[in-house]
């Protein structure tokens, strides 16, 4: 496998990993909100307790998205490498 194919493979793995993370987030949060909704004491602390899990995990999910789709590490490394090669000439 050449370098370009390996980079594409790694990017594909990262994107699949993010999609799995997002689906897991969705199903776990649906479950947690369902437990809260159907429990008899869903207003015991004044606001829905699944908010903590949704927001905390949501921050992690957003950072995972940014890493995979916005701030791709391989692109940054390639840009830095190209810049160093231009300076060397």
Contact partners, residue 72, CB within 8 Å, separation at least 6: 11, 14
Predicted structure pTM score: 0.76
pLDDT, position 76: 72
The number of C-alpha atoms within 13 Å of 8 and in the hemisphere containing its C-beta is 5
**Domain of 24?**
3-88
Tokens of 24: 């897991």
Give tens-digit pLDDT for 20-44: 999 999 999 999 999 988 886 656 6
Contact (Cβ atoms closer than 8 angstroms) between residue 4 and residue 10: no
Contact (Cβ atoms closer than 8 angstroms) between residue 86 and residue 47: no
């Amino acid at each position: 496998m050449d370098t370009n194919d390996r980079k594409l493979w790694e990017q594909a793995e990262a994107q699949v990993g993010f999609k799995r993370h997002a689906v897991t987030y969705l199903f776990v949060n649906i479950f947690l909100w369902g437990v809260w909704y159907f429990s008899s004491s869903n207003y015991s602390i004044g606001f829905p307790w699944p908010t903590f899990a949704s927001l905390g995990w949501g921050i992690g999910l957003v950072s995972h998205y940014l890493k995979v789709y916005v701030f791709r590490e391989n692109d940054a490394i390639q840009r830095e490498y190209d810049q160093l090669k231009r300076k060397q000439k």
